[in-house]
A and B are shown apart, each in its own frame.
Chain A
Amino acid sequence: MNSIPRIDPHAANRGFLAASGRKRIARGRDLAEGEAFTASQQSAQHQLPQIVIKDPKEFVLVCLHSREGTLSNLDREVLYVGRVLAGRRTDCALTVIVFGDLEIDMRQHGADRVIILKDDRYTGYNQEEKLSALEHLIDKLKPQNILFGESAEGDGDLARRLAVRQNMSIAPGVIELDDNKVRRFCDGGWQQGTHELTDILILNSGTAEADFDFETQALMENKLAQIPTKASTKEPANASKVLQEMMRSLSANEVPLEEANFILSGGNGVKDFDKLLRLAKAIGASVGGSRVVVDDGKLPRECQVGATGKTVVASVYIAVGISGAVQHLQGIKDCRYVVAVNLDESCDMVKRADLSLICDAEEWMDSMLELLGEESRKSA
């Protein structure tokens, strides 16, 4: 027997890799090894436990950028990990610093305290302003750890600058955490290394599964949000252009399906695929399809979702006229919300879906397009 040491996915409290090599830390709802399931435990999960930190003595900070009032999957993952780290200490609050405005309920995102910095000086690539705000808050709160996401918007860049400025230890490119150590990519991703928890952690996407099965207080720290203005001279005048020049928005159909956040997928119940494409464009979704329609040549092969096609991880997956064969469901198992549009209310897709519309696919698309048409006329 050849025994090559491998990661043990069954070990208690240990992270494990998921599909596509992404690591996840052990989740709170997982049961201890060997512990038997009971029906009561199952039903108890319906009531979300409340986490209340009355008088925080210690802090874990998470620093994020909001985009159009909302958060990305990576942001949610960072928040989740932050909450887990805070939960390991007594009277420790997860304080979330958000650059930009927020429209979502942070109680469902693990935040104990929220500081929203929506001043104009924090928009764009204004790292110097953001740094001084962070330094101000660190001085006030003396956090245990500060977490960032390794995002395209430069959160990681901010973290690195902060580490140098404050002479803090830092772990970039973190892919896995447990109680006292982190695992991260080194050597440009060719190797992995572990070391103790650092002051600053920059998490890679997919480190944790952001499954918030608890609620927090999310108290607004408006007082802390008053950051004294400090004229910055170190930043070159055209720095704010840097990121905007580098970043380009892709239209939904240019995003690889595996990375798409919003997918409109058509199956055998759809007759008019032009209409599906029009609707996808109108709602800004990427287009996917079931095996049958791809086989029929109605959609290109790279649109095929399922075990033999692409495994997708969208936040919202709308399955239009897809009955939900096992292999298709395997391809969407990591999607956060599934919406089924189907005539057959007993089909497996409806069983899997978070929201089901029992109606004809064509009619639904027509009325959606009509509604969207009205919207755009109104706004125009």
Chain B
Amino acid sequence: MQGFLVNQLPLLLLGIALLGFTAGVIKRIGLWRQGRHDQALKLSNIFFIPKRYLVDLHHIVARDTYIANTHIAAAGGVVASVLLMIPIYGFGLTNFYLYMALFLATFSAFIGGIFVWRRRSGRPSRLSRGKWNGVPIALLSFSIGFGFLTLFQSGYINANSVSIISIVVLSALATLGIFEIAGGGLLNRPFKHLLSGSLHLAFHPRQARFKSKGALSTDLKPVDWEVAKEIGTPGVKSVKDFAWNRLLSFDACIECGKCETACPAFAAEQPLNPKKLIQDFVAGMENRNDLAYAGSPTPGIPLGEHGGNSSSPIISDLVEEDTIWSCTSCRACVQECPMMIEHVDAIIDVRRDLTMRRGNIPETTAEALENLRQTDNIGGNDPKQRANWSLDLGVAMLKDGEKTDVLFWPGEAAFELKHQKTLRLVAQLMQKAGIEFAIPDLREADIGDFARRVGEEVLFETMVKKNMDLLSNYTFNKIVTADPHVYHSLKNEYSSYGGDYQIFHHTEFLLQMLEEGKISVKEKISDRTYTYHDPCYLGRYNSVVDAPRALLAMTVENITEMDKSGMNSRCCGWGGGAAFSDIPGKRRIPDMRMEDAQQTKVDTLVVSCPNCMTMLDGVVATSESLGPLPEVVDIAEVTARAVAL
């Protein structure tokens, strides 16, 4: 008995585990292949996995050093153990070094297990419980069981000197551990991520994210109208309309909940939890309801009401419409996700179906889209008023065939009193610096960001065409804009349609003007205290976080950073049409962002986006406010004052 447990059982377990694992691979491939065939991804991509895991993924995971180190210990230990068991148990290769290595590998997995246990012991709400509680148990039982069996089998501990009960217990632990780990794929249990996670790295829908360490790929991809015809929607109406590698990416989710802690809509208790959303897709993929989910639920939506298969309509079998419209497309979830899942792409795909196929659009969003169709701007303003802000400044308006150095693109800001102030200051600063610039004539259309984010791709393409036609009439060196949404679209999204422009956000351009000495700071502002709010479309979408800070460092004395800043900034609540759909929650996102600012105890909140201005300036002090609200100003105002414009 002891002999069998010590000498034969490990080999038997290993064999069953490998069989189970293989069955799991086959099962999961079947699940993923419910999705449609996608772009020509080569099978050879799997050779990228080690590099992508060790470099690109680790770069993200390492932001949380605790779990990064834990994962190295646990995953490294488990993988090394299994690899070492094959020669030892399978081929009977036995020597001191192999045994020592195997023992150390199981010990590493044990340490990993301890740290996983410790992290989960505080029961942080972001971590899923339920079957995910099995993770530390599996790691500990696997490592303890196989660690001791190794010591027995190698003879360093005489198995006969140990009671049979201990050996039976240890064998049971080993069995439990290896089955949980290897059977994840087959049994829909947590360790499936070992398979789906690594393959996801190979077949990630955004291969550009692996170009270099921390590379960004934030542009939405155009609708493939051929595919749309084939599947009957320009977006995604059921889980099987996702490309197979997108399903693979959802399957890689480890329910760590970093997305939900970053999500502004979740914090405002709007009905969106990015983690649950991904799990809802997984439920559809695995043909079940959402009762197996054991993390924080979507605010206001109880478990057990949703479920279906890969052909069920996502709305509302798997997900509620309000969930889809709560997203601000701020990408905080994507930024945080250690598995590099693309939540925002999934939401936009569902919106494309809602908007273009079903015409199911929140009322105020529909109104804004209608305005856009008929007047080329979201507010439904007379397009002829686009240049009214510049009337008395003598700003040149570019005619067809004319030439300028800088094309200043006002965007939607042109119509609002508050935003016109920013435009005027930027224009006046450029005039002061002696820069040759002009604005487009009145044919400019909205950049299309709003339409695209609410899923109206046809309208977006119309806008792209209008603007690119207009731009092709002009000769210019660069475009400057004060709107990060314009910046992002022109820089990253027009390129799919052949647009290639050199574009600067006004924070970058004002900084450049200061650094080149074209304007100079008269006196740093010292009578006010400042904090800076990063717009998502400038920060997270384009990693322009240093330029505004450098600009502020040159112009003001006192800057305090908010807790959530830079690439981790909290959204103002406007993006992705969320300001229009305005899905009710317990709180409002801009109110929360204003509290972030109030906690720094400054008197001025600096923004660099007209939409952030709209949202944050709209916050009104109430009896529940933390105190007086900081004044909201654009960075151009700060600069103008410092250079004594």
Binding site for B on A (CB under 8 A): 1-4, 6-7, 9-10, 16-21, 27, 30-31, 33-34, 36-37, 39, 42, 267-268, 290-292, 295-296, 307-309, 311, 323, 325-330, 333, 348, 351-352
Nearest residue in A to B387 (C-beta to C-beta)? A37
Flag if A19 contacts B622 (CB, 8 Å): no
Nearest residue in A to B392 (C-beta to C-beta)? A39
Contact residue among B387, B442, B614 (Cβ-Cβ distance under 8 Å from A327): B614
Taken together as a complex, chains A and B put the C-alpha atoms of A152 and B251 apart, in Å, by 60
Flag if A39 contacts B391 (CB, 8 Å): yes
Contact residue among B225, B382, B441, B579 (Cβ-Cβ distance under 8 Å from A2): B225
Taken together as a complex, chains A and B put the C-alpha atoms of A67 and B377 apart, in Å, by 36
Nearest residue in B to A310 (C-beta to C-beta)? B364
Flag if A326 contacts B375 (CB, 8 Å): no
13 interchain pairs, CB-CB under 8 A: A1-B465, A2-B225, A2-B462, A4-B462, A17-B375, A18-B380, A21-B370, A34-B400, A37-B390, A42-B392, A292-B622, A307-B379, A326-B613
Nearest residue in A to B582 (C-beta to C-beta)? A308
| The 7 A-B residue pairs with the shortest CB-CB distance in the complex, in nearest-first order | A17-B374, A325-B618, A19-B380, A308-B582, A326-B614, A292-B620, A30-B384
Q: In the complex, what residues of B have CB within 8 A of residue A352's CB? A: 417
Binding site for A on B (CB under 8 A): 225, 364, 367-368, 370-371, 373-376, 379-384, 387-388, 390-392, 394, 396-397, 399-400, 416-419, 441-443, 458, 461-462, 464-465, 497, 579-580, 582, 588, 613-614, 617-618, 620-622
Flag if B614 contacts A10 (CB, 8 Å): no
Q: In the complex, what residues of B have CB within 8 A of residue A323's CB? A: 620
Flag if A10 contacts B442 (CB, 8 Å): yes
Q: In the complex, what residues of A have CB within 8 A of residue B416's CB? A: 326, 329-330
Taken together as a complex, chains A and B put the C-alpha atoms of A351 and B420 apart, in Å, by 13
A321 to chain B, nearest CB (A): 10
Flag if A2 contacts B458 (CB, 8 Å): yes
Flag if B417 contacts A348 (CB, 8 Å): yes
B478 to chain A, nearest CB (A): 22
Nearest residue in B to A31 (C-beta to C-beta)? B384
Flag if A4 contacts B579 (CB, 8 Å): no
Flag if A9 contacts B417 (CB, 8 Å): no
Q: In the complex, what residues of B have CB within 8 A of residue A16's CB? A: 374-375, 382-383
Contact residue among B379, B388, B391, B461 (Cβ-Cβ distance under 8 Å from A333): B379
> What DSSP secondary structure best describes chain A's contact surface?
loop
Q: In the complex, what residues of B have CB within 8 A of residue A268's CB? A: 620-622
- Beyond A34-B441, A37-B391, A326-B416, whether A6 also contacts B579 by CB under 8 A is no
Q: In the complex, what residues of A have CB within 8 A of residue B462's CB? A: 2-4, 6
Taken together as a complex, chains A and B put the C-alpha atoms of A311 and B391 apart, in Å, by 27
Taken together as a complex, chains A and B put the C-alpha atoms of A3 and B301 apart, in Å, by 40
A157 to chain B, nearest CB (A): 30
A182 to chain B, nearest CB (A): 18
- Beyond A4-B462, A307-B364, A333-B379, whether A295 also contacts B588 by CB under 8 A is yes
Nearest residue in B to A10 (C-beta to C-beta)? B443
A179 to chain B, nearest CB (A): 18
Contact residue among B367, B376, B394, B418 (Cβ-Cβ distance under 8 Å from A20): B367
Contact residue among B383, B387, B617, B622 (Cβ-Cβ distance under 8 Å from A326): B617
Taken together as a complex, chains A and B put the C-alpha atoms of A36 and B394 apart, in Å, by 10
Q: In the complex, what residues of A have CB within 8 A of residue B579's CB? A: 307-308, 327
Q: In the complex, what residues of B have CB within 8 A of residue A328's CB? A: 618
Q: In the complex, what residues of A have CB within 8 A of residue B375's CB? A: 9, 16-18
Flag if A9 contacts B376 (CB, 8 Å): yes
Taken together as a complex, chains A and B put the C-alpha atoms of A329 and B613 apart, in Å, by 14
Q: In the complex, what residues of B have CB within 8 A of residue A39's CB? A: 391-392, 394
Flag if A291 contacts B618 (CB, 8 Å): yes
Which of A329, A351, A352 has the most C-beta atoms of chain B within 10 angstroms of its own C-beta? A329
Taken together as a complex, chains A and B put the C-alpha atoms of A159 and B392 apart, in Å, by 47
Q: In the complex, what residues of B have CB within 8 A of residue A309's CB? A: 364
Q: In the complex, what residues of A have CB within 8 A of residue B367's CB? A: 19-20, 311
Flag if B622 contacts A296 (CB, 8 Å): yes
B160 to chain A, nearest CB (A): 75
Q: In the complex, what residues of B have CB within 8 A of residue A326's CB? A: 416-419, 613-614, 617-618
Taken together as a complex, chains A and B put the C-alpha atoms of A4 and B457 apart, in Å, by 12
Contact residue among B374, B388, B391 (Cβ-Cβ distance under 8 Å from A9): B374
Q: In the complex, what residues of A have CB within 8 A of residue B388's CB? A: 37
Flag if B384 contacts A7 (CB, 8 Å): no
Q: In the complex, what residues of B have CB within 8 A of residue A27's CB? A: 382
- Beyond A307-B579, A308-B582, whether A325 also contacts B441 by CB under 8 A is no
Flag if A30 contacts B382 (CB, 8 Å): yes
A355 to chain B, nearest CB (A): 17
Flag if B417 contacts A329 (CB, 8 Å): yes
Q: In the complex, what residues of B have CB within 8 A of residue A17's CB? A: 370, 373-375
Q: In the complex, what residues of A have CB within 8 A of residue B371's CB? A: 18-19
- Beyond A39-B391, A325-B617, A326-B418, whether A1 also contacts B461 by CB under 8 A is yes
Q: In the complex, what residues of A have CB within 8 A of residue B384's CB? A: 30-31
Nearest residue in B to A23 (C-beta to C-beta)? B374
Taken together as a complex, chains A and B put the C-alpha atoms of A348 and B421 apart, in Å, by 12
Q: In the complex, what residues of A have CB within 8 A of residue B613's CB? A: 326
Which of B384, B419, B441, B588 has the most C-beta atoms of chain A within 10 angstroms of its own C-beta? B384
Q: In the complex, what residues of B have CB within 8 A of residue A9's CB? A: 374-376, 383
Taken together as a complex, chains A and B put the C-alpha atoms of A252 and B271 apart, in Å, by 36
- Beyond A307-B580, A308-B582, A351-B417, whether A6 also contacts B373 by CB under 8 A is yes
Nearest residue in B to A269 (C-beta to C-beta)? B620
Taken together as a complex, chains A and B put the C-alpha atoms of A21 and B370 apart, in Å, by 7
Flag if A330 contacts B379 (CB, 8 Å): yes
Flag if A21 contacts B582 (CB, 8 Å): no
Which of A16, A267, A268, A351 has the most C-beta atoms of chain B within 10 angstroms of its own C-beta? A16
Nearest residue in B to A327 (C-beta to C-beta)? B618
Q: In the complex, what residues of A have CB within 8 A of residue B364's CB? A: 307-309
Contact residue among B376, B379, B622 (Cβ-Cβ distance under 8 Å from A10): B376
Q: In the complex, what residues of A have CB within 8 A of residue B620's CB? A: 267-268, 290-292, 323, 325
Q: In the complex, what residues of A have CB within 8 A of residue B465's CB? A: 1, 3
B274 to chain A, nearest CB (A): 23
Taken together as a complex, chains A and B put the C-alpha atoms of A323 and B383 apart, in Å, by 27
Taken together as a complex, chains A and B put the C-alpha atoms of A10 and B387 apart, in Å, by 14
Q: In the complex, what residues of A have CB within 8 A of residue B400's CB? A: 34
A14 to chain B, nearest CB (A): 11
B363 to chain A, nearest CB (A): 10
Taken together as a complex, chains A and B put the C-alpha atoms of A308 and B362 apart, in Å, by 10
A301 to chain B, nearest CB (A): 9
Taken together as a complex, chains A and B put the C-alpha atoms of A325 and B616 apart, in Å, by 9
Q: In the complex, what residues of A have CB within 8 A of residue B396's CB? A: 36
Taken together as a complex, chains A and B put the C-alpha atoms of A352 and B465 apart, in Å, by 35
A75 to chain B, nearest CB (A): 22
Q: In the complex, what residues of B have CB within 8 A of residue A351's CB? A: 417
- Since A34-B442, A308-B580 are in contact, a sample of 16 more A-B pairs with Cβ atoms closer than 8 Å, ordered by chain A residue number, is A1-B497, A2-B225, A7-B374, A10-B376, A16-B383, A19-B371, A20-B367, A268-B620, A290-B620, A291-B618, A295-B588, A326-B618, A329-B417, A330-B416, A348-B418, A352-B417
